[in-house]
Amino acid sequence: MRFAYILTRSLLLFTLSLCLFLSCATLQPAMKPSAEYQSLSGTIPIPPPTREQREVFHRDVKSGQVTLRKGEGKVFSGYVTDNRAFLEQVITPLLAPHVQELSTQHPAEMINTLTLFGFEIYRVYFGEPSHTWEFYRWGGDLFDLDDPQERGYRHDDKYGLDCSGFISLPYDLAVHFGLLDAKDAAAVFSSRGFEQHCRKLGSADRGGRGGTSNRYRVDSIDVSKLGRVLFSVKKGQPPNREDLEKLQAGDLVSGPGHVGIIVEARGELYYLESGRDVIPPKGTFLVPAAVAIETFADHYSNLTVRRSLPDYGRIGKQ
């Protein structure tokens, strides 16, 4: 009897252990929050920087200090970026041969290509060695429109983009190369599109220091008022499955003081940003859109997902 009891107990423990193992094995793929990062460049190849380019464009180049006099007698001193030089000398030669091809794509597909390209080229040239996604620079935008900065992360560095500078980059490139009309509502997240929007509605551009204009550079506070809202997520709550199915490339995830962008890569939707608010601290993983939005909502209240582009859906399903 004792042998039968021990045998029965052993079989029961084995069965429970097997069930637990199978359960964990089944849950593990769903619980894995991100995909291993690999180079995102594809449609627009990005060759390794030459020695000459490396000498000019790298993350440790310091900016010169300037003083800017603005309206109402306000004077601001600090450091400005020179991302336009990077645009003219590095980005344009790589991007210009692909403009005709990009012009045949739907705006969502075109913006997706430009976002992936912009993210990758800034990562390659200005990424931090210990955190390869980190090219953040407080007060950094593609056209150097922002005011001189006196403080903030890498505020005195010459190259880099802050969160709103990064999400504007694909839209700025699209308008700059004639792929979007600045007067079109789809271009409102670009600086020239934002300028047209403000002039049309008589709105003030107040994203500069001290509530002054910063030459229509799109700031995070501006994003929260632009485009159309797809859905909102309350702080600490996961997004609804029905809302996630609405996502497409080029959508912006916006919260107070921060913004990121949705891209499609390898047949899946992911979230990209400049900064470390949502992405993993080591920057070795791509964060799926659903995971990123839920993480974003844990950090910020009044999260909205916004769109300026025509509805298109998933690129991979077209």
pLDDT of amino acid 134:
82
- For the cut 70, the answer to whether the pLDDT of residue 24 exceeds it is no
Burial class (CB in 10 A: 0-12, 13-18, 19+), 132: middle
Average pLDDT over residues 178-192: 98
Query: What gap in Å lies between CA 187 and CA 193, rounded to an integer?
Result: 5
Q: Check whether 284 has a pLDDT greater than 80.
A: no
Residue 131: closest CA among 273, 281, 277? 281
| pLDDT for residue 206 is more than 90 | no
Instruction: Provide the whole-model pTM.
Output: 0.88
Q: Which two tokens stand for residue 110?
A: 């075109």
User: d(Cα 31, Cα 280) in Å, to the nearest integer?
Assistant: 15
pLDDT at 109 over 90: yes
Residue-wise pLDDT tens digits, 210-255: 888 899 999 999 999 999 999 999 998 889 999 999 999 999 999 9
CB count, 10 Å around CB of 94?
15
pLDDT tens column, 120-167:
999 999 988 766 668 999 999 999 999 999 999 999 999 999 999 999
pLDDT tens across 43-71, in order?
899 999 999 999 999 999 999 999 999 87
DSSP assignments along 92-156, one per residue:
HHHHGGGHHHHHTS-HHHHHHHHHHHHHHHHHHHH-BTTBTT--B-TT--TT--SPPBSSSTTTT
Residues 6+ apart with CB under 8 A from 36: 284, 285, 286
Structure-token match 């042998």, residue found: 3
Give yes or no for a contact between 191 and 143, defined as CB atoms under 8 angstroms apart.
yes
> In the chain, how long is the greatest CA-to-CA distance?
97
Task: Report the C-alpha gap between 134 and 279 in whole angstroms.
Answer: 10
How far is the C-alpha of 117 from the C-alpha of 46, rounded, in Å?
8
| The predicted structure's pLDDT at residue 48 | 93
Among 51, 273, 84, 64, CA closest to 157: 64
Strand order in the sheet with 35-36: 35-36, 285-288, 268-272, 258-265, 252-255, 303-307, 228-233
Instruction: Kindly state the average pLDDT of the residues 271-297.
Output: 83
Q: Is 240 left (phi over 0), alpha (psi -120 to 50) or beta?
A: beta
User: Which pLDDT band, with edges at 50, 70 and 90, does 34 fall under?
Assistant: low
Instruction: Select the more confidently predicted residue: 71 or 31.
Output: 71
Angle at which helix 163-176 crosses helix 191-201, to 10 degrees, equals 90
Inform me whether the pLDDT recorded for 14 exceeds 70: no
139 neighbors 81 (Cβ within 8 angstroms)? yes
Look up residue 304 and give its two tokens.
Answer: 């909205």
Q: What is the mean pLDDT of the chain?
A: 86
